[in-house]
Structure 1
Amino acid sequence: MSLKIRQAVVEDAKVISNIHALSWKSAYKELVPQRYLDDLKNDFWVEAFENWIRSDDLKAKIIYENEKPIGCAIYGKSRDEKLLNWGEIVSIYLLPDYFHKGYGQKLLDNVLIDMKELGYKNIYLWVLEENDKARLFYEKNGFKCNDDKYYFEVMQKQLVNVRYVNSLKSLGNKNPVKRGT
């Protein structure tokens, strides 16, 4: 088995959007209205990802198993005006067949190293409050919920994101995934 993580380019936006949509349809069952998930198009985020990558506002990585793209991460400079010097992990998603196999950990480790090299000392991310699996994953990786909440609606269902924060100072010389692998 061959495993590779690489920086995404604008031309990868369709692949990244597809991974997001398929992951949402599986991971957010019973959390997000089913009709929304059923109607979610695989190319829903293409334009947003193209713009983010092209403008360098955010960066993206794709993880491959045997040359097949199986997951991705979006990250970069904070989009929150209250945390301007912070880094933000916008998303980490995998194709459903690759959940719970360690790929998310490899992708997160690679992104954390990159964010530290980019000069971020502190980072944050948002997690659906009801998404216990994701919350546990980030807590096992040193993230702490700071009780900030972001409320939004999907098809008239109110959802809540909670903010998780972490310091990259604790990373030290950790190098779990080598560059370009």
Structure 2
Amino acid sequence: MGPRVRDMTLADCRAVAEIRIGGWRAAYTGLIPRSYLDALDVDEDTELRRTMLTKAGNPVVNIVAEQAGEVVGWAAHGPYRDGEVRTADAELYTIYVRPGHLGSGVGTALLRESLGRCTAAGHGRAFLWVLKENVRARRFYERHGFVPDGAEEPFEVDGVAVPEVRYVLRLGDRDAP
């Protein structure tokens, strides 16, 4: 049986912080400065998740995946951000899976739920940004129909420019991933 996907609650914030930081350390070692990865703090990130989850008017949708009662993945999506301007399109802000659960269907379950919610909300397209050198993530998104649209931007981490590429997926007139 696959993971159960549900809305994130305040009780999930610590698990999500652990998943996020573990995901950064697993996926981005060698891609972004080690000093940044080493400085990530679960307690600080837990408080940030709590603050963001309870922020009034926040349009971000946070969902988690559970297996055997354990939170093993997290995704967040909302309006596409073109600079500071929100558009009618959707953006998948993040998908992270506990490193020991990569390849188990957790990421796919989270992606399907996020895209289903984006489609139901009437968004025509979903965008996402991914580190250019994160080959595993890029392959995952490409398997699910996302295509790079040619946009690239540097993401600055500890003074180092790390290139990101943008992917897009047309919603509504396609089969589920």
> Would you identify which runs of 4 or more consecutive aligned residues in structure 1 move more than 4 Å?
none
Q: Which amino acid aligns with 2:119?
A: K
**8 Å CA contact retained: 1:127, 1:135:** yes
Deviates more, 1:87-96 or 1:34-43: 34-43
Match of 1:57 among 56, 59, 66: 59
Match of 2:89 among 68, 86, 93: 86
Match of 2:103 among 100, 103, 112: 100
In the alignment, is residue 165 of structure 1 matched against residue 168 of structure 2?
yes
In 2, the alpha carbon distance for the partners of 1:90 and 1:26 equals 18
Residues 67 and 29 of structure 1: is their aligned pair in 2 closer, same or farther, counting only changes over 3 Å? same
Residues 158 and 106 of structure 1: is their aligned pair in 2 closer, same or farther, counting only changes over 3 Å? same
Spell out, residue by residue over 1:111-147, the C-alpha distance to the aligned partner (whole angstroms, 9 max, x if none): 1111111111111000001101111111111111111
TM-score when scaled to structure 2?
0.88
CA RMSD of aligned residues (A): 2.0
Specify every segment of 5 or more residues in structure 1 that has no aligned partner in the other structure, as ranges: 177-181
In 1, the alpha carbon distance for the partners of 2:164 and 2:36 equals 18
Aligned length: 174
TM-score when scaled to structure 1?
0.86
**8 Å CA contact retained: 2:2, 2:106:** no
Match of 1:76 among 64, 75, 78: 78
1:179 is matched with which residue? none
In 2, the alpha carbon distance for the partners of 1:112 and 1:146 equals 18
1:34 is matched with which residue? 34
Q: Which amino acid aligns with 2:33?
A: P
Deviates more, 1:4-13 or 1:114-123: 4-13
More strand by share: 2
In 2, the alpha carbon distance for the partners of 1:86 and 1:6 equals 23
3-state DSSP class of the match of 2:110?
helix
3-state DSSP class of the match of 2:88?
coil
**8 Å CA contact retained: 2:62, 2:76:** yes
Specify every segment of 5 or more residues in structure 2 that has no aligned partner in the other structure, as ranges: none
